[in-house]
Amino acid sequence: MRSPSQTAGETQSGALVTMQNVALPHTARFASCRKMTARHTYENMGKCLCYKGACPTFRHNNLSKGLFCAIGKRQPLPEKKGCPCNSCLVWVECGLTGLYFCTRETLEEDTR
């Protein structure tokens, strides 16, 4: 993690992942994550792009819950209209892979 005295582009390890002007250590694992999956927490809900209205699939299907990377798919399966998951802070912080968590049978399934 960055100390307050470090600039935005520096980390102690030197490895960075940059997303929307946010620099994060590539190997960082946060309390809001567990083994390549997100935890269903208020902190993550505040970061989730679905809840922020940035997901076209979420909006098109009038979904009411988000953070599918933590809770899995919805029934009935939503019609895919685009997926911003790989731009989401939760996705980056937890080291997630794949897209369309809202349609995955299991969270390990890589649905694109």
Check residue 36 and report its DSSP letter. Answer: T
Q: Is residue 2 one of the residues assigned to a domain? A: no
pLDDT of residue 4: 39
Centre a 10 Å sphere on the Cβ of residue 93 and count the other Cβ atoms it contains. Answer: 22
What distance in Å separates the CA atoms of residue 13 and residue 18, rounded to the nearest whole number?
A: 14
Give percent of the chain with pLDDT exceeding 90: 42
Domain range spanning residue 92?
Answer: 29-103
Q: Is residue 16 one of the residues assigned to a domain? A: no
Two tokens at 85? 């998951």
- DSSP SS3 for 87: helix
Q: Is residue 44 one of the residues assigned to a domain? A: yes
What distance in Å separates the CA atoms of residue 36 and residue 97, rounded to the nearest whole number?
A: 8
pLDDT of residue 45: 93
pLDDT of residue 84: 95
- The whole-chain average pLDDT of the chain stands at 74
Strand partners, 34: 37
Q: pTM of the predicted model, to two decimals?
A: 0.64
For 79-94, how does the pLDDT look when each residue is reduced to its tens digit (9 = 90+)? 999 999 999 999 999 9
Q: Which residue has the higher pLDDT, 64 or 29?
A: 64
Q: Is residue 36 one of the residues assigned to a domain? A: yes
> How many domains are there within the chain?
1
Q: What radius of gyration do the chain's Cα atoms show?
A: 15
**Taking 80 as the threshold, does the pLDDT of residue 97 lie above it?**
yes
